[in-house]
Amino acid sequence: TVKDLSATLAIKSTDIILKLMQQGVMATANQVINNDVAELVALEFETELVVEHQSTLEEKIRKEFEERERKNIQRRTVVAAMLGHVDHGKTSLLDKIRSTHIADGEAGGITQHIGASEVTWDNKKVTFLDTPGHEAFTAMRARGANMTDVVVLVVAADDGVMPQTVEAIAHSKAAKVPIIVALNKIDLPGCNINRIYSQLAEQDLAPSEWGGQTEVVKTSAVTGESINDLLESLDYVAELLDLKADPDIPATGWVVEAKMSAKRGPVATLLIKEGQLKSGDIILAGSTYGRIKMLKNSYGKKIKTASSSMPVEITGLGDVPQAGDRFYCLDDINKAKAAAEENQTNYRERSLAERTQVTLDNLFSQIEAGKAESLNLIIRADVQGSVDVLKKYLSDLSVEEVKINILHAAPGGITEGDVVLAEASNAIIIGFNVVSDEHAAKIAEAKGVEIRLYNIIYRITEDLQKSMVGLLEPEETESTLGRVVIRSTFKISRIGTVAGCFVSSGHASKHAKIRLIRDNIVLKDNLSIESLKHFKDDVREVKTGLECGVKIAGFDDVKVDDVLEFYEIVKVARTL
């Protein structure tokens, strides 16, 4: 923390905070700063600081596992995640694969759902992760859980590439895993395959039939068409990736999902990365530990042992672990307990400041520290034309010290998926004539993800250029006061249109600026309030949960379900 650094250097905390501000880092006395920043600050006071990292018990355990001798290296099963647009048939396709490729003795267990499935055919295997959307896929990656070897991108043949398809592609590319396309619902009439191939090519997924590098398999969850072809494609990718593991060493892997069962207590689905897991084994999983009481495979059948790339369901942990936690099979329950308790303490103390999210304010200091070699951006704009212009303008801003890397660009409002991707990839979200939904904004604030909203394109390029040369000095910031939803409109002669509204969050203020939002697109900004009423009374503000009447000065084009966002521009003075 800043306070710890102050004690080490024998320098006042206020002086250190001032130096941090000069480097574009805002911090309080109790806030954690990373080692690189601490060393730079120490140099400012003509002191060379050497930060020695004290390994946690889990880090020591991880190192022991990594250095463990492996005497029986074998090919392991490929792990695939199914991603794609809602209603394109991900779950149906997976159910069809499972129902047509049941290993001997597993019949009757099809309804079991543990978040992952192992499929067997022709003495080959593949493990499917059934994650609830690409947001969950990337959220686990943000926590270091790189479980997936390959992504199966499910695209409906009657629908084509849709917004969530594009998002799933962006998340997969950010994870740097190969993509196989399952062109599903191929049994439906009127499918325009060439149109979909063209859409895929636009996303840099040119099909192999067109001379590209992306394998496209035409499937049907109804008829089972080409299910085997899809599995063979996954097996081929596994060969190329040369996936290996030792099935005999103590197991390690990840928590896929976990829950508290009223009858069984904490229940966790594990994906074994490597090694052997047995009923009765002691395991550490994040901030909890225990001895395995029951081990089930993905078909709900009790088993005694499991090995590399197998998904299993276990009971016996003392508490519910988090999805994405790493687990280790240990031989000492006291060691597992000590590591779990230390992790619990660290989880409480550790803040997001340990992993500094890049912002335009601190970009230059990160470049100087050698931490920022590229600036990852996610772009959202009102229309596709704006997206195309921004992609070109922003890509052209790359300089020798830092390269602009656009992870995802699409029309529409800022979503939770954008925020999750930004956190995982240390990216900034740029919004042009759009806003983020309230849930996404709250998550961004909690995760330290910066969202920058603009309505003039050159302001975006100007800010980025300034940040790259250390000149960005934020003088003003926008503070959102509240949102109201228009429930009715009234046209009054000689006055205009009055909107009957409900304050859904924050408060409505007569002296605030407002922007008109329709379907998450900003239609009009910088509007003023002519009158604000609660019942018949003129008021200065109306709080959450109350109704009000709003007349916008010089503007009448409002509709039911439009949203009015109230905000004010605040001058920010950097003080200690």
Same domain, 276 and 195: no
pLDDT at position 112 is: 45
Same domain, 89 and 154: yes
The amino acid sitting at 306 is A
Q: Predicted confidence band at 142 (pLDDT cuts at 50, 70, 90)?
A: low
Same domain, 385 and 329: no
Give tens-digit pLDDT for 220-239: 988 989 999 999 999 999 99
Q: How far apart are CA 66 and CA 34, in angstroms?
A: 26
Average pLDDT over residues 156-176: 88
- The span from the first CA to the last CA of the chain, in angstroms, equals 16
Average pLDDT over residues 107-127: 70
pLDDT at position 104 is: 43
Of 130-144, 203-217, 227-241, minimum mean pLDDT range: 130-144
Does pLDDT of 541 surpass 80?
yes
Q: Is residue 52 part of a domain?
A: no
Q: How far apart are CA 353 and CA 1, in angstroms?
A: 10
Does pLDDT of 1 surpass 90?
no
Q: How far apart are CA 271 and CA 145, in angstroms?
A: 10
Identify the domain containing residue 559 by its residue range. 475-572
Average pLDDT over residues 510-520: 93
Q: Predicted confidence band at 362 (pLDDT cuts at 50, 70, 90)?
A: low
Q: Is residue 309 part of a domain?
A: yes
Structure tokens at 130: 């059934």
- In 3D, which of 49, 52, 1 has the Cα closest to residue 29? 1
Structure tokens at 539: 């008021």
Q: How far apart are CA 440 and CA 436, in angstroms?
A: 6
Say if CB 205 and CB 155 are below 8 A apart. Answer: no
Q: How far apart are CA 367 and CA 372, in angstroms?
A: 5
CATH of the domain at 481: 2.40.30.10
As a 3-state breakdown, the chain gives helix, strand, coil percent values, each rounded to 5, of: 30, 35, 35
Same domain, 126 and 237: yes
Q: How far apart are CA 139 and CA 147, in angstroms?
A: 12
**Long-range pairs, 406-410, Cβ under 8 A, ≥24:** 406/377, 406/378, 406/379, 407/170, 407/173, 407/174, 407/376, 407/377, 407/378, 408/166, 408/167, 408/170, 408/378, 408/379, 409/378, 409/379, 409/380, 409/381, 410/163, 410/166, 410/167, 410/379, 410/380
Q: Is residue 54 part of a domain?
A: no
- In 3D, which of 287, 289, 285, 290 has the Cα closest to residue 342? 287
Same domain, 280 and 412: no
Give tens-digit pLDDT for 280-316: 999 999 999 999 999 999 888 999 999 999 999 999 9
Average pLDDT over residues 453-481: 75
pLDDT at position 107 is: 39
Q: How far apart are CA 549 and CA 531, in angstroms?
A: 8
Say how many CA atoms lie within 13 Å of 521 toward its Cβ: 11
Same domain, 481 and 456: no
Total domains in the chain come to 5
pLDDT at position 220 is: 92
Same domain, 337 and 274: yes
Of 90-94, 214-218, 396-400, 519-523, minimum mean pLDDT range: 396-400
Of 109-118, 228-237, 496-505, minimum mean pLDDT range: 109-118
Q: How far apart are CA 131 and CA 153, in angstroms?
A: 13
Q: Is residue 66 part of a domain?
A: no
pTM: 0.60
Q: How far apart are CA 184 and CA 83, in angstroms?
A: 12
Report how many helices (DSSP H) and strands (DSSP E) the chain contains, helices first: 15, 28
The amino acid sitting at 113 is H
CATH of the domain at 426: 3.40.50.10050
Does pLDDT of 342 surpass 80?
yes
Q: Predicted confidence band at 533 (pLDDT cuts at 50, 70, 90)?
A: very high
Q: Is residue 50 part of a domain?
A: no
Percent of the chain with pLDDT over 70: 85
pLDDT at position 134 is: 56
Main-chain phi, psi angles of 98, to 5 degrees: -65, -40
Average pLDDT over residues 415-433: 88
Of 72-81, 308-317, 424-433, minimum mean pLDDT range: 424-433
Q: Is residue 56 part of a domain?
A: no
Average pLDDT over residues 534-539: 90
Task: Round the average pLDDT of the chain to a whole number and report it.
Answer: 84
Sign for the pseudo-dihedral over CA of 416, 421, 423, 427: negative
Same domain, 206 and 268: no
Average pLDDT over residues 62-66: 93
| Cβ neighbours around 554 below 10 Å, total | 8
pLDDT at position 358 is: 57
CATH of the domain at 137: 3.40.50.300
Q: Is residue 230 part of a domain?
A: yes
Main-chain phi, psi angles of 489, to 5 degrees: -130, 150
pLDDT at position 354 is: 45
Say if CB 168 and CB 88 are below 8 A apart. Answer: no
Of 99-108, 177-186, 228-237, minimum mean pLDDT range: 99-108
pLDDT at position 212 is: 94
Q: Is residue 68 part of a domain?
A: no
Residue 571, strand partner residues: 476
Same domain, 345 and 383: no
Say if CB 12 and CB 3 are below 8 A apart. Answer: no
Same domain, 113 and 232: yes
Residue that is last in its domain, among 409, 436, 471: 471
Same domain, 217 and 275: no
280 torsion bin: left (phi>0), alpha (psi -120 to 50), beta (else): left
Same domain, 336 and 374: no
DSSP single-letter state for residue 491: E
